[in-house]
Structure 1
């Protein structure tokens, strides 16, 4: 009986253990299935998002981009440009005069920070040469024909994405600020656990206390160290995404981009090792507690063993030696993103032309047929055949400044993205300058006139220094000074530009200059039409000098007192008759001396 009881007890004990084991297996199985379900759900969601994005890309390619830019991010678009300065780039004055920030926004259809920065660099690199422009043309055209590959590249660029308000180049430049970072402290700190682990087998209580104290010390020092490296973890994540994207890019067969893809493969060879152990640095959303059990466990292991800081230091040492390869990869990916953006911009235009550009010529000329400004929704198209300088006259608001900007912007686009908003464009590759939308410099304590003459001096200097033809645009020459000296000085400046071979486009209200400069500049003008007591502007360029004025008429239309209008008209008429200004009430009212 005793033996039977013992046997039954043993059976119950075994069955209990089996039941517990089964419960554990079932629990583990449920957890595993839940984990698999979460992964599958995430994969399905990602796949659906990609499918929707592909559809969006196909349906919206060529439409105006709905992108928004933060001021901080826009300020950092020049980071790639700063590291690849050329002697002959579009300078800040000209960029701002022509409103090129808005032109950039109009063109930009990139999906990565690398693409944005490369597009910005491209739009300022006006001296890249005909060979580089022809290569861009090949790449743009090929991508337009291969829609599936184009969409695949756009998906990769979307995956690469942005870095917030900063550029990766900012982070790469700042790597040196971290100084030398050794893992010696981390290794020694982790070795402190060893004696307390051994003590567990002899005095469990003391061993446990020692381990807990070590953990607390590690956690306290962890957050201090993590705060130092956290800004750089963002850049490491971007570099790792860049590596992933480049690995996909190198698989694409793009015959017109073969040389660049070969360079990409070479750069990748030395950067793949950065991914070893990267999970400990990147997982857990940069230090925030994860949502699933494995991430939570990994987060605690990071805190008590400093695993992510250890791996960060290793990656930092490698990355410092490989910044050149990272920049190569950024340029190659950014170029493709930019090229797709150029194709989209072309498709958004009602029409465009491929410019005919001359190289190695000192003759300055510009022939454009039916050109318009790409920022205008309902533009008036104008043609110009300039074999020497152009002097524009015309009434206020008649279209002089817009015409200057239209020609200048098309010249820039011709030399940077090989695209013109025109029926045809033929010119040499110019150095392009402007002096149009200047302001007083409060920062430097300079008046408008000083700012203006500095701006004009840089154009004169460029005309004398470079063999490359210079194209310049000047709106209201020397408007910041008195009439007599303005006409005298402006005339001599424009003559000097013409004698140096510069092709100048200048606008003025000083009709006297049309006679003074007729041996050097061709006269064109814009005029207004008076209809039903209203002033209308056709914005059509006409040959010859302006013969009408509207400044006083505009005062009348804006509701100024009749007395002001009458007396101003009298003074103006008298000056035109006699060449003298008067200010006696009787003479003013009669318009005579």
Structure 2
């Protein structure tokens, strides 16, 4: 009996492993087939432009190609021809760097090194492509406002949510003293907090989606650091820029400031290393969904609202690291895209 049970478990595990390997092989085959091909997917340029537009407004850079010149040169078509990025960060970042008319030589050398690496090392390229696809593409990453003006995304009067979250405990402490008063207060608090949770959830739905994408970005970057950390340390570009001030120039965190991609990726991830799936669930709940115990608990104690503000506070406190994280992932994704573009030009 026990032997049969063990054999059954082993068989299930073996089958699960086989299906995983089969799916991975199929995914890698598609990646190999698409590499070096002319892209056919048409992107919604409204979302792709988000990062670049926020960068212009925030940093006031004058080294970028202006909109008139960009349109005269049909650069949107050039972008679509080059873009085979695997995540929204790469798409947005590629659009941004194509506007940069004054790129440092050290930056060009780094990009050339990365492009050569991914052109020659198929195994590393496939592993990186799988990680980037895990981060995923959506209708834009939605991260630009958090990168350049996270303070504006923070919920005001957060102390109110803290007090509302404590009221259920107050009602529970009153129950032993007066069942009627305690139950009445508890019911009122549950109704008020659930209403606040649903109402705020609807207004914050796009913001929560952006933070869920942020969570995917952090997870993907952690995998990159673990898999490619040693290799990325070979990409050296001089010393890191000083970060003692708070000026816009200091907060820019372009790739020009990166001295060692491996160590800099590790440093950029440090403030977010303890994150465990930020805001995995949507706060936009219907009355039927609130019957579920977990969702009801989150609504009554305003868990998502409190976590949202804590996450934004983390972004505010470590904004430079966040922007560097975005930049490094963007550089890696665009390097794969550039390698694919160069390959397509030779076929």
* CA displacement, residues 299-322 of structure 1 (integer Å, 9 cap, x when unaligned): 111111111112222222221112
Does 2:101 correspond to 1:123?
no
Does 2:261 correspond to 1:284?
no
Pair 308,44 (structure 1): closer, same or farther in 2 beyond 3 Å: farther
Corresponding residue SS for 2:204:
helix
Corresponding residue SS for 1:263:
helix
CA distance in 1, matches of 2:134, 2:301: 31
Give me the TM-score of the superposition, normalised by structure 2: 0.76
1:304 to 292, 295, 300: 300
**2:331 corresponding residue in structure 1:** 335
2:195 to 215, 220, 230: 220
**2:209 corresponding residue in structure 1:** 234
* CA displacement, residues 10-32 of structure 1 (integer Å, 9 cap, x when unaligned): xxxxxxxxxxxxxxxxxxxxxxx
Question: Displacement of 1:340 after TM fit?
Answer: 0.7
**2:268 corresponding residue in structure 1:** 267
- Which runs of no fewer than 5 residues in structure 1 stay unpaired? 1-36, 352-593
Corresponding residue SS for 1:124:
coil
Give me the TM-score of the superposition, normalised by structure 1: 0.46
Pair 195,264 (structure 1): closer, same or farther in 2 beyond 3 Å: closer
Question: Displacement of 1:172 after TM fit?
Answer: 3.7
CA distance in 2, matches of 1:41, 1:212: 49
Question: Displacement of 1:263 after TM fit?
Answer: 0.7
**2:231 corresponding residue in structure 1:** 254
* CA displacement, residues 119-177 of structure 1 (integer Å, 9 cap, x when unaligned): 22332223324443233222111111211111111111112224524641134445333
CA distance in 1, matches of 2:79, 2:162: 50
1:139 to 105, 110, 114: 114
Structure of larger gyration radius: 1
CA distance in 1, matches of 2:21, 2:149: 37
Higher relative contact order (CA 8 A, sep 6+): 2
Higher strand share: 1
Equivalences for residues 98-247 of structure 1 within 5 A? 98-165=73-140, 167-173=142-148, 175-178=150-153, 181-201=156-176, 203-247=178-222
Corresponding residue SS for 2:127:
helix
2:313 to 317, 324, 348: 317
* CA displacement, residues 503-562 of structure 1 (integer Å, 9 cap, x when unaligned): xxxxxxxxxxxxxxxxxxxxxxxxxxxxxxxxxxxxxxxxxxxxxxxxxxxxxxxxxxxx
- Which runs of no fewer than 5 residues in structure 2 stay unpaired? 1-11, 237-259
**2:46 corresponding residue in structure 1:** 72
**2:239 corresponding residue in structure 1:** none
CA distance in 2, matches of 1:46, 1:287: 33
**2:256 corresponding residue in structure 1:** none
